[in-house]
Chain A
Amino acid sequence: MRAGTPRRWATIALAVIGLALVAMPVVFDMFARAPKGAQMIQAFAPFMTNARLNGYHAEMSTIGGAVTDAPKVAQRLYARAPGSAQARFATEYPTFVAFEREWHGIYPDMTGMIDTIQHNLGNYDAVAALPSFTLFPWFFVIPGVIVLALLGLGIMRRARWRSVRWALVALGLALVLAPAVFQMFSRAPKGGRMMTAFKTIETSGRVARIQGYFGEIAAGQGAVALELIPALRRSGESAAEISTDYPGLTTFDAQWVHILNDMTPMIGAMSDNVANYQAVAALPPFALFPWFFVLPGLLVGGVAAGGGLRRLRRARDESSSDVLSSSTEGVI
């Protein structure tokens, strides 16, 4: 064998690695799933800021303020009536009281969810800073195709095998370095943590539950605006007095349209991305992603470099043997 021609075992190994790289996105259905991840990351972007999430917390407190004011309203409206003011209030305003009852479950659930999202802001930012998910399948296919193309070139033009081998070593090195360049070792596990945290949030059941909350809160606001505040006015309080005495009630009413404007798109984004989340969750764990580059990189680089070394040694041996042979011949 001439120095620089590809060895059989190296050829087979490189072909297997190249094919594996090309096949990996197909095996993991990355062409369908990865773009869904990109869509999810993009759709969440407007909501994944401390300012926006603090705003949601403030809105929850605003809604809760109306519930806090309810006993005062009952006292004002029915203090002189026979029996318990609260009981009378419950009889007269069943829609608000139903909302009040539901709110005790809604508030911890919603604030808990917002807290979870907020705790994962850093994780989200880390994932968003990675190259677009849409490109992910190509990060495997393109190196795989390059490996196969270089291998083909090396086989067809054996004289160029030496150059091809070094190109493969360079490609392997690039694959090894890629995760470090994109900070995947730190960012990908954070993405994994975000996916785990959102496991209980991005479900159709959770979204439906929040849709139900929306109905309850809307009914409560309607009761505040159309029943409680008018009743307080009828009781003799001016608008200014109501605003001073029942700030929770009036703030909820005044802020309602803003709350609707703000919350509705979030519910929409959650709802629209359930399938996208499921697609990303079905991909291999995020923490493994850097190793999907490093391991093939080491293999490509190692096989290309190793395959050549032995060949060179053999070539050297053959060369020495020729020299020895000719020397011996000379002696003889």
Chain B
Amino acid sequence: MTNRSLPRLGVGLAALVALALAAVPASAGQLKGTFGISAGSYFRMIYPAAAKSKSKYFSNPYSTDADKTYTLVTGGTDGGLRTGVLQPAPTPAFDAKGNSLAGRIIRPTSFTGIDFGLVTLGTAPSISVSAGRLSGQLVGFTAQWNKLSFKQGSSDVSGTYNAKTHAYVLTWTSVISGGPFNGFTGYWHLQGKFVS
């Protein structure tokens, strides 16, 4: 290596370091706490194409929204979805009619006349924020209804987070695999405030 090439190498390395620093977000970090579930949070169920339904979305007559394809949800006894820990189902998980008794994440909500609840099973949720953008996984997110459990999690949730107001929006989709709703897609939209 000549004396002339050393300064060039230095400049090159400095440029690489600058690029790497630019790629690292200023405020990246895990959000450990509770994502409170407030008004405006909802769930929609999308028919599989093969069902040839007239509507794209399953209509839940018991929804409290004017548009019955939106099933509105509100925070349960824990206020919402907790990261870093599991929120499992109680024992028993259902009453005799199949209503879910899981009331920690959301207040059990009627879906076609039977209440569904939410639990997290297996892997604890983890969400991180980077430059106001949320990302993470909710693979253990599970809906319980009519004495059945439906995996509704995702390894790729996304959303927004306001560090000043702690307001957040999280959205993801999850295709139901197996069971009576095989092939349906759940669309989840949670919003509220994050409390660490």
Contacts and interface: CB of A to CB of B under 8 A. Distances in A.
Given A95-B61, A226-B62, A268-B179, A261 B50 contact: no
B146 A260 contact: yes
Interface stretch (A11-19, A26-34, A142-150, A202-210): A202-210
A208 B182 CA distance: 8
Interface string B61-105: 110000010000000000000000000000000000110000000
Contacts of B68: 219, 222
Interface string A185-213: 00000000000000000001101110110
At the interface, is chain B mostly helix, strand, loop or mixed? Answer: loop
Interface string A260-279: 11001101100110000000
B61 A218 contact: yes
Given A211-B181, A226-B62, A204 B113 contact: no
A211 B146 contact: no
A211 B61 contact: no
A221 B53 contact: no
Contacts of B179: 268, 271-272
Contacts of B48: 208, 211
At the interface, is chain A mostly helix, strand, loop or mixed? Answer: helix
A75 B87 CA distance: 51
A208 B176 CA distance: 13
B146 A256 contact: no
A20 B126 CA distance: 55
B61 A208 contact: no
Contacts of B182: 207, 211, 268, 271-272
B180 A205 contact: no
A225 interface: yes
Interface residues of A, number: 27
Interface in A202-249: 204-205, 207-209, 211-212, 214-215, 218-219, 221-223, 225-226
B158 to A, nearest CB: 28
A257 interface: yes
Nearest to B98: A261
A271 B180 contact: yes
B113 A211 contact: no
Contacts of A221: 61, 112-113
B188 interface: no
**What are the 8 A-B residue pairs with the smallest beta carbon separation, nearest first?**
A222-B61, A208-B50, A267-B180, A212-B51, A268-B180, A218-B112, A271-B182, A268-B179
Given A209-B52, A215-B53, A222-B113, 18 more contacts: A95-B61, A204-B183, A207-B182, A208-B51, A209-B51, A211-B182, A212-B51, A212-B52, A215-B58, A218-B59, A218-B113, A219-B61, A221-B112, A222-B60, A257-B113, A264-B146, A271-B182, A272-B179
A245 to B, nearest CB: 23
Contacts, number: 88
A264 B61 CA distance: 17
B166 interface: no
Nearest to A207: B182
Contacts of A209: 51-52
B114 A215 contact: no
B181 A261 contact: no
Contacts of A222: 59-62, 68, 112-113
A119 B109 CA distance: 40
B184 interface: yes
A265 to B, nearest CB: 7
Interface string B127-156: 000000000000000000011100000000
Nearest to A217: B112
A222 B55 CA distance: 16
Interface string A109-134: 00000000000000000000000000
B47 interface: yes
Interface in B169-190: 178-184
Interface string B36-51: 0000000000011011
Given A261-B98, A268-B179, A211 B114 contact: no
Contact of B113 (A208, A214, A260, A271): A260
A221 B60 CA distance: 10
A325 B25 CA distance: 107
A257 B97 contact: yes
A224 to B, nearest CB: 9
